[in-house]
Amino acid sequence: MRRIAMLVLTIGLAVSTRAAEPNQACALLTTAELEAALGATVSPLAAQEIPGKATVQMCTTKSANARVLLRIAKMKGGAGSSNAAAEGIEVARQMGAQVDVKTFGPITCSTMIPPKNMEQMGFNTTCSVVKGTTVAAVEITTKARKDLVPIEKVHPLAGKIAARVH
């Protein structure tokens, strides 16, 4: 049951190496930008670390209906990283998830709707941008399908991220 959540995290970690210090993930978007996309107030942005995994920088916030994860990392290798993402999407589909992927130049967005028996894992929309050897993403997960944030609202956030990533 936790496979989809781990899959999303693994995709993000699989494409990264040690990212630059200090944590830059919280500078990718502002709370005001996130609130505009979500249509709800969010908590202050908080830098996150995964013990033993200094390979990706993350920042989180939440609203009443959504959790937001911002992440930034250096890619290990161009071709291998896109293969890892494609493999992750295929695994999710094999598990019964409905996955929709849209590409806008360097920005790739996806929604993931889990199968009925895994809905407790949440409904996810992610947009990532690749700029040089850096990949940055905004991921929004909701508990209910009715609260799923559409790609059309998350894609502009990725555009802002693209302008801020060096």
Residue range 52-108, pLDDT digits in tens: 655 689 999 999 999 999 999 887 655 445 556 677 788 888 888 899 999 999 999
Give the per-residue pLDDT at 49: 73
The residue ranking higher by pLDDT, 153 or 81, is: 153
How far is it, in rounded angstroms, from Cα 44 to Cα 46? 6
Stretch 123-152: mean pLDDT: 94
Instruction: Write out the two tokens for 37.
Output: 């996309």
**Burial level of 2, CB count in 10 A (0-12/13-18/19+)?**
exposed
Q: Residue 51 — pLDDT band, cuts 50, 70, 90?
A: low
Instruction: Name the fold adopted by 3-164.
Output: Protein Transport Mog1p; Chain A (3.40.1000)
Give the global pTM: 0.81
The set of residues, in sequence order, having a beta carbon less than 8 Å from that of 128 and lying 6+ positions away, is 107, 108, 109, 135, 136, 137, 138, 158
Q: Residue 25 — pLDDT band, cuts 50, 70, 90?
A: very high
Give the per-residue pLDDT at 83: 58
- Chain mean position to CA 71: 7
Stretch 15-25: mean pLDDT: 57
How far is it, in rounded angstroms, from Cα 5 to Cα 22? 26
Q: Residue 50 — pLDDT band, cuts 50, 70, 90?
A: low
Count of alpha carbons within 13 angstroms of residue 121, beta-carbon side: 21
